[in-house]
């Protein structure tokens, strides 16, 4: 069921519910007022008749009503629209106006005996309905007056019919109006859906017409716009990664294939040549393994954030410094200015950021130099002696597979700093690099701004 149909049904149902409540209240009020008017009329007639002496002395006759002077029924007279009877204490009924007879009920007899002052009821007699009032008279009698209320009931029936038609008409109109409103409201959403549906054939989808709206549809369009741009950026990065990876993988694979071809001529090779080829194969295999590992790490850099938790960066840094110092036999000077540095990240991802920065400093610094590490509540920096970084290379060193001219002579894939930037950016931080010169020595600092703890 479409949104337009559902909105039309909801509005129609709301109109029916509202109409039923209003019609019920109106009908109940009108019915009460009409019946109250009839009861007032009966009481007025009763007051006018109960003082007539003829009612006290009236006797029952076989076939004719008992006249009460000028009050006898005649067209337009007081008794022309009512039935008047005398109820004896023994249950006998004396007809005053003739016509239909209202049977005396036990309540009427109780009124005649003085047990109750009055009794008011609605009674069906043949095809007619009467509103009947019984009041006590002197001499253990009761005056019973019945008013034909067919006209009142017919009016109420007509009123019910009108109310039913009115409610159904209101529901029909509300349904049509609701459907038209839903069509108007859903038109921009359908336009947005049409735009999204064409994504496989549109290279650069444009949602600006809906994105400029100030309502919820505009908010939805802008959200889709951001999502689509993120998808495009991701696809562009994937294409770039594949292109760069294929380029970087081609070199070690070519070297492996060449060395394998040489080994196939094993009998014609000397011992020194075989040793050199095997050493090259080992080196190329290790480089290929490291490259594949870094490619996997790079691909998973953003996905690792789904395992994010609160991590204290201080013990992570201290543990990795001790590990790299023992493994590389290099000297590290650490400055940590906070007792704890909590960040919201994946433990594996943040360890990789720290490890890549330490490993990068070891690769590009003299063997006998000291590597400086500084950790503050807002930054983590690693500084090592090295030639200054050109302004053009300052940002490019964080690109995938980019290597400066000085770095091309050193083993590596060019993915370490790219992993650092993409990981820390996905966490909400930034990566940066700068050079300094002090007392004739130049150094390079590469660091990251830490994301704000959640």
- For residues 319 and 398, membership in a common domain is answered with yes
- CATH at residue 345: 3.30.565.10
pLDDT of residue 376: 93
Q: Which of 155, 184, 199 is the last residue of a domain?
A: 155
Strand 370-375 versus strand 331-336 pairing type = parallel
Structural domain total, the chain? 3
- What would the mean pLDDT of 120-131 be, rounded to a whole number? 87
- For residues 356 and 391, membership in a common domain is answered with yes
- For residues 150 and 292, membership in a common domain is answered with no
Q: Which of 103, 130, 155 is the last residue of a domain?
A: 155
Report yes or no on 375 lying in a domain.
yes
Which among 105, 159, 94, 167 is positioned nearest to 134, based on CA atoms?
105
pLDDT of residue 87: 86
Report yes or no on 433 lying in a domain.
yes
Report yes or no on 398 lying in a domain.
yes
Q: Is 395 exposed, middle or buried (0-12, 13-18, 19+ CB in 10 A)?
A: middle
pLDDT in tens, 152-168: 899 999 998 998 998 88
% of the chain residues with pLDDT over 70: 72
> Containing domain of residue 233, as a range?
216-298
Rounded mean pLDDT of the chain? Answer: 78
pLDDT of residue 68: 46
Hey, what's the torsion of the CAs at 187, 188, 190, 193, to 10 degrees? 180
Residue 172 three-state SS: helix
Q: Which of 97-111, 220-234, 309-323 has the lowest mean pLDDT?
A: 220-234
Report yes or no on 427 lying in a domain.
yes
Q: Which of 247, 277, 298 is the last residue of a domain?
A: 298
State the DSSP code for 429.
Answer: -
Higher pLDDT, 101 or 220: 101
pLDDT in tens, 181-224: 877 777 777 776 776 666 654 445 555 555 566 666 677 777 77
- For residues 282 and 310, membership in a common domain is answered with no
- CATH at residue 261: 1.10.287.130
- For residues 106 and 13, membership in a common domain is answered with yes
Residue 31 three-state SS: helix
- For residues 314 and 251, membership in a common domain is answered with no
Higher pLDDT, 331 or 296: 331
- Residue 447, pLDDT above cutoff 90: yes
- CATH at residue 27: 3.30.450
pLDDT band at 372 (very low <50, low <70, confident <90, very high): very high
pLDDT of residue 47: 82
Q: What is the DSSP string of 210-249?
A: HHT-SSHHHHHHHHHHHHHHHHHHHHHHHHHHHHHHHHHH
- Residue 64, pLDDT above cutoff 50: no
- What would the mean pLDDT of 263-271 be, rounded to a whole number? 66
Report yes or no on 415 lying in a domain.
yes
């Amino acid at each position: 069921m479409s949104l337009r149909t559902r909105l039309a049904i909801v509005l129609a149902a709301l109109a029916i519910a509202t109409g039923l409540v209003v019609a019920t209240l109106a009908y109940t009020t009108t019915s009460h007022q009409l019946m109250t008017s009839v009861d007032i009329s009966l009481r007025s007639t009763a007051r006018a008749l109960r003082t007539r002496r003829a009612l006290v002395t009236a006797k029952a006759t076989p076939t004719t009503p008992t006249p009460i002077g000028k009050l006898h029924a005649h067209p337009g007279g007081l008794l022309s629209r009512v039935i008047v009877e005398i109820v004896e204490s023994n249950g006998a009924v004396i007809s005053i106006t003739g016509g239909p007879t209202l049977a005396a009920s036990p309540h009427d007899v109780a009124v005649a005996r003085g047990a109750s002052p009055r009794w008011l009821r609605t009674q069906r007699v043949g095809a007619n309905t009467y509103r009947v009032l019984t009041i006590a008279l002197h001499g253990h009698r009761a005056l019973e007056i019945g008013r034909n209320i067919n006209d009142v009931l017919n009016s109420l029936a007509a009123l019910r019919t009108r109310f039913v038609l009115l409610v159904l008409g209101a529901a029909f109109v509300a349904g049509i109006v609701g459907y038209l409103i839903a069509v108007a409201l859903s038109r921009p959403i359908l336009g947005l859906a049409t735009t999204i549906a064409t994504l496989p054939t549109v290279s650069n989808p444009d949602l600006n017409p809906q994105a400029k709206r100030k309502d919820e549809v505009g908010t939805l369009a802008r959200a889709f716009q951001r999502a689509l741009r993120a998808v495009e950026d991701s696809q562009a990065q994937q294409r770039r990664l594949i292109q760069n990876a294929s380029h970087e993988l081609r070199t070690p694979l070519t070297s492996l294939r060449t060395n394998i071809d040489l080994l196939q001529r094993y009998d014609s090779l000397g011992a020194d040549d075989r040793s050199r080829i095997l050493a090259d194969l080992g080196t190329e295999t290790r480089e290929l393994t490291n490259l594949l590992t870094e490619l996997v790490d790079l691909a998973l850099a953003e996905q690792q954030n789904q395992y994010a938790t609160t991590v204290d960066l201080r013990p992570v840094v201290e543990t990795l410094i001790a590990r790299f110092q023992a493994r590389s036999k290099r000297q590290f000077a650490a400055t940590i200015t906070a007792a704890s540095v909590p960040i919201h990240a994946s433990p594996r991802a943040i360890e990789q950021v720290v490890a890549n920065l330490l490993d990068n400093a070891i690769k590009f610094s003299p063997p006998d130099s000291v590597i400086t590490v500084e950790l503050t509540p807002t930054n983590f920096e690693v500084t090592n002696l090295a030639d200054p970084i050109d302004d053009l290379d300052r940002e490019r060193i964080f690109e995938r597979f980019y290597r400066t001219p000085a770095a091309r002579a050193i083993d590596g894939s060019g993915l370490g700093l790219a992993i650092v930037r993409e990981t820390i950016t996905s966490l909400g931080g930034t990566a940066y690099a700068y050079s300094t010169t002090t007392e004739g020595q130049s150094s390079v600092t590469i660091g990251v701004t830490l994301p704000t703890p959640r």
